[in-house]
Amino acid sequence: MAVVAMNKPYHVDLADLMRVYEMNYAKLNALLPHQPQVEDVRCYQVQEMSYQLRVVEVTKYTTLVEICQSDEVPVFPLPSMSVRLYHDARVAEVSACEQLSRFHARYDYPNPKMAQKDEKVQMNRFLGDWLTFCLKHGISRRPLF
């Protein structure tokens, strides 16, 4: 007798996702200038890898930051991503990463872009892990350009 596995639909744990956003906001603010201006750049040397954070947009309630690896030959490539900080809510969310932008809360699987069911959560957790790594091991440098 064959057992058919029933896939339970994925449901977003909103409380957990908001905690991730709040932690990312605090970590990212520690790496950015106190009052960031458009085109501010912060570079970090972390365990033989160079990364940079560039402020792309500043409005009254939000700041958009691009994060990318600046090594010519990356050992462990970081996907370039855009992160929007919402200052009134004190949260930071990945808004775009490589070929994906405007993440959905969940995806059916399979899908044309082959995004995981919880792609949004995974990208924001990855950002949190990377920011923690930078805060523990990063050495701030002058902008590369």
Kindly tell me if the per-residue pLDDT of 144 is higher than 50: no
Residue 67 lies in a domain: yes
Count of the separate structural domains present in the chain: 1
The reported pLDDT for the residue numbered 55 is: 95
Residue 8 lies in a domain: no
Residue 37 lies in a domain: yes
What's CA 34's distance to the chain center, in Å? 20
pLDDT tens per residue, range 11-55 = 667 899 899 999 999 999 999 988 889 999 888 887 777 888 999
Rg (alpha carbons) of the chain, rounded to whole number: 17
| Full residue range of the structural domain in which residue 33 is found | 14-141
How many other CB atoms are there within 10 angstroms of residue 45's CB atom?
16
Question: Which tokens is 19 given?
Answer: 């905690």
Residue 7 lies in a domain: no
Residue 3 lies in a domain: no
pLDDT tens per residue, range 70-104 = 766 656 667 789 999 999 999 999 988 765 556 55
Q: CA-CA distance, 14 to 12, in Å (whole number)? A: 6
Residue 56 lies in a domain: yes
43 beta partners: 52, 141
The reported pLDDT for the residue numbered 6 is: 54
